[in-house]
């Protein structure tokens, strides 16, 4: 892996571990408790991360190859999120966690193959628009961190209820 990518790789590895620690020991029922005022649960958020990170790695990989992996003209991020979560709703959480682990391995395989000149290649992020690969990779990380914070907060709420 090129030196420039080591900090983002370290951050991604740490965030992956934080995510796994946050869900450790929770039952399937606890993982499916909806967040306050929202439709999604921890399980749904994990399903979202699984789908999203696979797509983001595919988009980043296409950028390094100089291919434009354009999303369909009618791509709707909210619809993608809803459909990808719905497609995984009946899967047990351990299966989704395995998918997340495979995605992490694939992302690291990808990062290990990036060459310095590829960091300037451009692609389109569904929400952020046109970015270089150098700009794109931190967006993957920040997205995971945002959802991990939600999961950590929900885990704390669940644990407080158990100890009450």
Nearest-angstrom CA–CA distance, 102 and 51? 12
Q: Tokens representing 19?
A: 């995510």
Does 164 have pLDDT greater than 70?
no
Nearest-angstrom CA–CA distance, 159 and 2? 41
CA–CA–CA angle 13, 18, 23 (5° rounding): 130
Nearest-angstrom CA–CA distance, 49 and 40? 12
- The closest of 112, 77, 101, 105 to 3, measured between CA atoms, is 112
Mean of the pLDDT values across residues 142-154? 97
Percent above pLDDT 90 for the chain: 84
Each residue's pLDDT tens digit, 16-46? 999 999 999 999 999 999 999 999 999 999 9
Contact 45, 144 (CB under 8 A): no
Each residue's pLDDT tens digit, 64-78? 998 877 677 788 989
**Exposed/middle/buried for 43, CB within 10 Å: 0-12, 13-18, 19+?**
buried
Strand partners, 131: 123
Mean of the pLDDT values across residues 108-112? 98
**Exposed/middle/buried for 47, CB within 10 Å: 0-12, 13-18, 19+?**
buried
Q: Which stretches within 24-92 are classed as H helix?
A: 28-31, 42-64, 77-88
Mean of the pLDDT values across residues 92-120? 97
Domain with residues 3-163, CATH architecture = Up-down Bundle (1.20)
Does 83 have pLDDT greater than 70?
yes
């Amino acid at each position: 892996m090129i030196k420039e990518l080591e900090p983002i790789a370290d951050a991604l590895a740490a965030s992956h571990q934080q995510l796994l620690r946050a869900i450790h020991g929770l039952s399937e029922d606890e993982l499916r408790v909806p967040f306050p005022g929202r439709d999604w649960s921890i399980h749904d958020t994990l399903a979202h991360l699984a789908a999203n990170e696979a797509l983001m790695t595919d988009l980043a990989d296409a950028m390094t190859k100089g291919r434009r992996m354009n999303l369909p003209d009618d791509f709707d991020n909210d619809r993608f999120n809803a459909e990808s979560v719905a497609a995984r709703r009946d899967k047990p959480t351990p299966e989704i966690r395995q998918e997340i682990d495979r995605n992490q391995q694939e992302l690291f395989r990808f990062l290990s193959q990036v060459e310095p000149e590829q960091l300037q290649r451009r692609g389109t992020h569904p929400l952020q628009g046109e970015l270089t690969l150098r700009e794109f990779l931190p967006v993957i990380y920040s997205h995971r961190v945002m959802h991990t914070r939600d999961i950590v907060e929900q885990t704390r709420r669940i644990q407080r209820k158990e100890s009450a």
